[in-house]
């Protein structure tokens, strides 16, 4: 398989195997006109298998969302064919607009324009809770 090199763009590496498509959808990469490559189940010495996203255009990224999905992700920013920045997103203290509260009695279910905000309550296990009703967030509940 041959995937061309990137001149100006991003490479999101070390995505947990099988979660690359989730990132692809969340970043709305299917709406982009540039080249996008999703490599699934690539070999990784550190993780066994991983997914990789290559985007041949520099785009704005939500590092909070990336840190929430997988803190081990590495984002490489490429300009003029050279890596100019390497970012390791961390678990953010709060997440706004990325998750949706599943509690039907939460005020966010009644007030539709109210942002869904979650606070990190257990960094070791990556547990987030709704700031309004204290409901634990589910990993698969991305907006």
Element (H, E) at 117: strand 117-122
The percent of residues in the chain predicted with pLDDT above 70, rounded, is 94
Alpha-carbon gap, residue 14 to 19, rounded angstroms: 10
- Global pTM reads 0.76
Q: pLDDT tens, 51-91? A: 999 999 888 888 877 888 778 899 999 999 999 999 999 88
**Number of continuous H segments (helices) and E segments (strands) in the chain:** 3, 8
Catalogue all structural domains in the chain, each as residue range(s) with its CATH number: 9-87 (3.30.70.140), 94-130 (no CATH)
Q: Mean pLDDT across the stretch 101-121?
A: 92
């Amino acid at each position: 398989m041959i995937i061309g090199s990137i001149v100006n763009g991003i490479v999101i590496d070390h995505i947990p195997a099988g979660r690359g498509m989730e990132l692809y959808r969340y970043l709305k990469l299917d709406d982009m006109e540039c080249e996008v490559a999703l490599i699934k189940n690539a070999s990784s010495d550190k993780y066994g298998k991983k997914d990789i996203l290559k985007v041949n255009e520099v785009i704005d990224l939500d590092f909070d969302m990336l840190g929430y999905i997988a803190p081990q992700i590495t984002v490489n920013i490429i300009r003029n064919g050279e890596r100019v920045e390497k970012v390791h997103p961390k678990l953010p203290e709060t997440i706004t607009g990325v998750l949706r509260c599943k509690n039907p009695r939460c005020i966010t279910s009644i007030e539709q324009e109210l942002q869904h905000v979650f606070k990190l309550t257990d960094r070791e296990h990556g547990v987030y809770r709704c700031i309004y009703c204290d409901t634990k967030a589910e990993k698969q509940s991305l907006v």
